[in-house]
Structure 1
Amino acid sequence: MASHQPATMKAWLYSSATGGLEKNLQLNLNAPQPRQPLFKNEILVEVISMSVNPADAKLPELGFVAKALISTPASPGLDYCGRVVATGTVVDSVRIGEIIFGKLEKPTKFGTLGQYVVVTHEDCASLPDGVDPDHAAAIGTAGLTAYQSIVPYVKAGSKVFINGGSGGVGTFGIQIAKNAGCHVTTTCSAPNVSLCQELGADDVIDYKTTDVYQELVARGQIFDLVVDNAGTPLNLYKDSANFLKPEGIFEQVGGPMSFSGTATVASNMLLPSFLGGGKRPYHFFVAKNSHDDLAEIGRLMKEGKIRAVIDSIFEYEDAPRAFEKLKTGRARGKIVVHVTKKP
């Protein structure tokens, strides 16, 4: 049921991202809360912890495009773990005071770097006993992306290549693929080889000292699935028939936010094989919010079958530094920000 809430909240806000989002965030201790009263199927959540994703910065930095999608001032952030403080009239899947985790359906004016957010049933799952809210806050985008880009396409014994194994999606992906019984090959730089191996990777390629494409070609058509979190080398999909099985699938998850990167994705999606395009099925992957998938990832975490790899944790007053760290491109796993006090 709905309950009375203060009209304001604390929130890190941006009105422009010129020069970088991290340089434009301003802390407002009296920012307006999300719309009230709630719609009948909505849940108001006080955020305990959130985690940052590349898209949280990339979208605001698109300038006029971003302003057309999100009114400002706005708070960035999609992923969260928090406590339920109010519910719409038909919500019966959670109770007030319960701790839940998940991700917002899409970027919004009221992101998870604000104290309160509004979600629905598909955007959340209950926090399992024994799982730290910081770890649950790391699941959201990265966990759903890894789970949905791998699990539907593999079976025990499948061979999976994960391009980019040490970031948020990659660290979850290695573990999820191994839990599904797959053989996992991944890429990372030398300092992260041991991490990828600890997570279960069977074979790790150092992309800084090895030509990734040539290394894959040398192995032949052995892979059932490629999950490309990195987007480089740019020719990876077009030449994937040299290492993907004829029935293999190429999932494009991430890539450089540049003209060449965008042009490559467009070409991969639109150029037919007889005109020089790739010869394997190509999916540009976008995660879909799913209560059931979030609950399953939470269950795997509770049972110790997967874990969140946390690179660093920032207190709320230091939130801009979380984006500074994200932009270095050297985070091992996820970056978390504390928003309110943990239970």
Structure 2
Amino acid sequence: MSNDTPSSNPHPQAMRAWVYTSTRGGIEKNLQLTNDAPLPFHPPLPNDAILVKVHYSSLNPADYKFPELGLAMRALVPTPASPGMDFSGVVAQLGDAVNSNFRIGDKVFGRIAPNRHGTLGEYVSARLDGCAAVPAGLSLKDASCIGTAAQTAYQCIAPNVKPGDKIFVNGGSGGTGTFGIQIAKALGCHVTATCSAKNAELCRSLGADEIIDYTTENVSQVLKAKGQVYQLVVDNVGTPTDLHRVADHFLLPDGKFVQIGGEFSVANVTTVLSRQFLPSFLGGGKRKWQYLITNNTHADLEQIAKWMSEGKVKAVIDEVFQYEDVPKAFEKLRKGRTKGKIVIESST
């Protein structure tokens, strides 16, 4: 059966899921596939919840970085747990208070916050703010890519620009970067993006007006030479480490630097805190800086899906893995060289 064909069991008792109890040595070495995982709710379904049978999910670096934080994360997400935040599928059950526009069998997509019952389970319990209908012309596979990467890019860019503004996207070929380039263009912006030479054609095809090859050029110096022309910087990478400190050379005085990428480490946390609180003479920057935490927003999901159904934005998918190959998908994701998104096709 095609994963784009709505199907559901209206009264599931248990579910298939990839689960972990430890992340020692990497989450991909600890995932186990079980056929009798508990449902993501204690019956009855909460009034404000939508139970979705997952057909596709897409992976994000946070799907392994958060669980691997150790005890701090275990306090928030006790194990055994399933990873995953992004999903697409069909409505299996509706809470009594859910908007009547949703019906059982409807195609939907969205994002959940990290919890014990992630999107690598057969079913996921979503809230309205993190769930939207799949419009005509958009496949479930492509819709599964929107939740985290596209929504993050949108929330970085849309509130901070107007048509004609110049934006710099640091890291243009990854999941968030590929969406960021396209969203910025849909909003009428001029886009400069970094990527390697092998990914330059991809970034240009998505709408990037200028490319900086970070493998052969000093990104900070190239930007400084352009002068104060950018309204917004979106940093998906976290390097070069001096990018925010020297941003006053290329960001307009009222411009903004939005950070969403970087390694989860003590050093990176220290860098983040210095950018937020230290004055420039102590290592901070002179331009407004924000570390963006994605918030599920129904209207944002709808807008992105609308653009995709109209052909203004598309999902860039590096590879689709079958459900049985989830550990291999995490292995590839961890290498950090994917073009766009990695998608998991669930068995139905």
Shorter-chain TM-score tier:
over 0.9
- The one-character-per-residue Cα deviations of 1:112-131 (angstroms, maximum 9, x if unpaired) are 00001101111111001121
* Aligned-partner residue type, residue 103 of structure 1: R
User: Is 1:314 paired with 2:318?
Assistant: no
Contact 1:47 1:340 in 2 (8 A): no
2:215 is aligned to 208
Q: CA deviation at 1:4?
A: 5.2
Deviates more, 1:270-279 or 1:289-298: 270-279
- In 1, the alpha carbon distance for the partners of 2:111 and 2:343 equals 14
* Aligned-partner residue type, residue 35 of structure 2: L
User: Is 1:296 paired with 2:303?
Assistant: yes
Instruction: Indicate the SS of the match to 2:51.
Output: strand
Superposition map of 1:2-41 within 5 A: 5-35=11-41, 36-41=43-48
TM-score w.r.t. the length of structure 2 is 0.95
- In 2, the alpha carbon distance for the partners of 1:195 and 1:44 equals 36
Contact 2:274 2:283 in 1 (8 A): no
* Aligned-partner residue type, residue 34 of structure 2: N
Give the unaligned 5+ runs of structure 2: 1-8
Identity of aligned residues (%): 53
* Aligned-partner residue type, residue 102 of structure 2: V
2:178 is aligned to 171
- In 1, the alpha carbon distance for the partners of 2:163 and 2:82 equals 42
Q: CA deviation at 1:232?
A: 0.3
Instruction: Indicate the SS of the match to 1:245.
Output: strand
Superposition map of 1:23-102 within 5 A: 23-35=29-41, 36-91=43-98, 92-102=100-110
Q: 1:236 aligns with which of 230, 233, 243?
A: 243
Deviates more, 1:55-64 or 1:160-169: 55-64
RMSD: 1.1
1:129 is aligned to 136
* Aligned-partner residue type, residue 149 of structure 1: C
- In 1, the alpha carbon distance for the partners of 2:105 and 2:171 equals 38
- The one-character-per-residue Cα deviations of 1:81-119 (angstroms, maximum 9, x if unpaired) are 011000111212311100100100x10000000001101
User: Is 1:285 paired with 2:292?
Assistant: yes
Instruction: Indicate the SS of the match to 1:155.
Output: coil
- In 1, the alpha carbon distance for the partners of 2:93 and 2:265 equals 41
- In 2, the alpha carbon distance for the partners of 1:256 and 1:13 equals 24
* Aligned-partner residue type, residue 32 of structure 1: P
2:254 is aligned to 247
- In 1, the alpha carbon distance for the partners of 2:347 and 2:301 equals 22
2:190 is aligned to 183
Count residues with an aligned counterpart. Answer: 338
Contact 1:93 1:121 in 2 (8 A): no
- In 2, the alpha carbon distance for the partners of 1:259 and 1:66 equals 15
- In 1, the alpha carbon distance for the partners of 2:37 and 2:293 equals 31
List 4+ stretches of structure 1 deviating above 6 A. Answer: none
Contact 1:18 1:63 in 2 (8 A): no
Deviates more, 1:86-95 or 1:162-171: 86-95
2:111 is aligned to 103
User: Is 1:323 paired with 2:315?
Assistant: no
TM-score w.r.t. the length of structure 1 is 0.97
Deviates more, 1:302-311 or 1:55-64: 55-64
Contact 2:52 2:93 in 1 (8 A): yes
